[in-house]
Amino acid sequence: MTTPDTLPALLDAAAARFPRDPALAAADRPPLSYAALAAATRRIAEGLARQGIGPGDRVALWLPNRPEFLTLLVALARLGATAILLNTRWRAEEAARVLDRARPSAIATQWGFVAADFPALLAALLPEARAPIRFVIGLDVSGVERVGGVPVLPWAVLDRAPEHAANEALPDGLALTYATSGTTAGPKLAAHTQASLARHAAAVALRAALAPGSVALHAVPLCGTFGLTLALAALAGGARGVTLPRFDAEAADAAIRAERVTHMVAPDAMVLALDQAARGRPYPRLAFTGIARFGPEAERAVAAAAALGLSPLGVYGSSEAQALFAFRAPDDADPTGGGGIPADPGAAWRILDPDDAGEGELALRGPSLFARYLGDEAASARAFTADGWFRTGDRARPLPAGGFAFLHRMTETLRVAGHAFAPEEVEAFLARQPGVSAAQVVAGPDGRPVAFVAGEAPDPAALAAACAASLAGYKQPARILVLDGFPLADGPNGPKIQRHRLREMAAAPDPA
């Protein structure tokens, strides 16, 4: 069978083979069949085409997990347009930064989402945004005609359009961007082609045995590669997907049991929450759970996953390479460790400048890699070696039985509840606040960020309130400490902040 090279081809192939099989379901709605889902993507494509969306256009998706997310993604792909995925935990400043850089023509969002008031956030950011947004696609909207001065187009209007006859999807056309954790003051936008997404989804489906009869739980946000890769792989394999708008341990526990879930992905924090919700009752054994070990309690999460019958396997991936780029085999000596063997047989890895133990920077090649960082050609060029290998910034070593073991990031990245971000994102925000001249952010003993600020008269309470209003919850500092100056050490290139000293201070008890 020919491997699909666009997202519409991936869905249409499944619809041709399994037209009546359930493709996607939300917890409160009956499932869409593969044929119905494919038809819905054509209707939405036609509705968007009548609004002037076509090849080369960009549309932002600020949506929780629901069938419409994937419907819209494939509809845009049919038009040759690009989806700009926004993290549902972002707030106005974070979203505005990406919108200004990506410059989408429209944005889709939901009314009435309990975890975030997206319309209110849009009302605040759209009047100041430099993006040429012409309309807002509104899900669950009722009677609202404009938000932030921009017209609102209800989803129901799009869904009443006839099916789009043409297919402008091209294998090398950009399908979407993932926002990376970044190493600078903001995330980079890793742009993937339709071919990179479709081929990787097919490879993951085959490797993870996603097929008709399989049920994938989509509880991890679809706006990131960890959640979306599983969703696309489920479509590629003809499996049934069940979406949860946001992760809630009790709801996820109920869905796993009621829907007879066989496949899922989960960061360690999610596994620990499930363990609490399960109350000692194991699940009917799952076939596959890709587990990401992010937090300080990773070992406890792995043990809990095994006790629950989740069949945990360690995985490896990134926004640039896609999630599930590699994962361990059940008979591996360390089946839950990070890394593994690439899912796609056309992918390859190597260790750059290995030391005596064989450890060094992990470099990747293969069809699942991103095309470039949108709007940042310099960063795109730096990401690759002269002979075309992607430099991951991760330290790894070869495994005796094949594949590689992920060890750690080579530069500092903070991870909270499975979300990765660069400390510079929070530092840059704090440095712009009144009374602050400089800021440093490090991980505290529980992994949450601790901020240190210096300046004329920083007000920790006001800074905490500003963070709460403008930053995602996982980026908000657990503590904000005021210093007269940062600890410094002289180096060959001048004074350097001693971040290890800051980490020691972050670990010390709060003097208050």
In-domain check, residue 65: no
Looking at the structure of the chain, the number of domains it has is: 1
Q: Is the pLDDT of residue 374 over 80?
A: yes
Residue 182 pLDDT:
52
Spacing of C-alpha 327 from chain mean position: 18
CATH number of the domain enclosing 494: 3.30.300.30
Residue 221 pLDDT:
94
Coil/strand/helix, residue 213: coil
In-domain check, residue 60: no
* Residue 137 structure tokens: 């696609």
Q: What is the mean pLDDT of residues 285-304?
A: 85
- DSSP line for 78-112: HTT-EEEE--TT--HHHHHHHHHHH--SEEEEESS
pLDDT-based confidence at residue 424 (cuts at 50, 70, 90): confident
* Residue 36 structure tokens: 């119905």
In-domain check, residue 90: no
Tell me the residue range of the domain where 490 lies. Answer: 423-507
In-domain check, residue 198: no
If one compares 440 and 27, the residue with the highest pLDDT of the two is 440
Q: What is the mean pLDDT of residues 265-282?
A: 94
Q: Do 20 and 33 touch, CB atoms closer than 8 A?
A: yes
Q: How many CB atoms lie within 10 A of CB 117?
A: 13
Q: Is the pLDDT of residue 425 over 90?
A: no
First-to-last C-alpha distance (Å) of the chain: 66
String of b and e for 142-177 (b: at least 16 CB within 10 Å)? eeeeebbebebbbbeebeebeebeebbbbeebbbbb
Q: How far apart are CA 354 and CA 342, in angstroms?
A: 20
Residue 324 pLDDT:
97
Q: Is the pLDDT of residue 321 over 80?
A: yes
Residue 500 pLDDT:
80
Residue 498 pLDDT:
82
Phi, psi (deg, nearest 5) at residue 115: -85, -15
Q: Is the pLDDT of residue 297 over 80?
A: no
Q: What is the mean pLDDT of residues 195-200?
A: 98
Q: Is the pLDDT of residue 351 over 70?
A: yes
Distances (CA, A) of 40 to 32, 153, 187, 319, 333: 9, 17, 32, 28, 45
In-domain check, residue 318: no
Of all residues in the chain, the percent with pLDDT exceeding 90 is: 80
Residue 403 pLDDT:
95
380-405: pLDDT as tens digits: 999 999 999 999 999 999 999 899 99
Q: Is the pLDDT of residue 162 over 90?
A: yes
Burial of 388 (0-12, 13-18, 19+ CB in 10 A): exposed
Q: What is the mean pLDDT of residues 281-288?
A: 93
Q: How far apart are CA 457 and CA 434, in angstroms?
A: 8
Q: Is the pLDDT of residue 67 over 50?
A: yes
Residue 413 pLDDT:
76
N residues, the chain: 512
Q: What is the mean pLDDT of residues 157-166?
A: 97
- What ranges make up the beta strands (E) of 63-212? 82-85, 106-110, 135-139, 146-147, 150-154, 174-179, 189-193
Residue 496 pLDDT:
65
Residue 493 pLDDT:
41
Residue 278 pLDDT:
97
Q: Do 489 and 501 touch, CB atoms closer than 8 A?
A: no
12-57: pLDDT as tens digits: 999 999 999 999 999 778 899 999 999 999 999 999 999 999 999 9
Q: What is the mean pLDDT of residues 185-213?
A: 94
pLDDT-based confidence at residue 492 (cuts at 50, 70, 90): very low
pLDDT-based confidence at residue 106 (cuts at 50, 70, 90): very high
Coil/strand/helix, residue 431: helix
Mean pLDDT check: name the lowest of 2-6, 69-73, 432-436, 490-494: 490-494
Q: How far apart are CA 129 and CA 134, in angstroms?
A: 12
Q: Is the pLDDT of residue 183 over 50?
A: no
Q: How far apart are CA 16 and CA 18, in angstroms?
A: 6
Q: Average per-residue pLDDT in the chain?
A: 93
Residue 164 pLDDT:
98
In-domain check, residue 104: no
Mean pLDDT check: name the lowest of 191-195, 417-421, 453-457: 417-421
In-domain check, residue 470: yes
84-97: pLDDT as tens digits: 999 998 998 889 99
Q: Is the pTM of this model over 0.85?
A: yes
Q: How many CB atoms lie within 10 A of CB 329?
A: 15
In-domain check, residue 261: no
pLDDT-based confidence at residue 184 (cuts at 50, 70, 90): very low
Q: Is the pLDDT of residue 8 over 70?
A: yes
For residue 44, which amino acid is it? I
* Residue 114 structure tokens: 């309990």
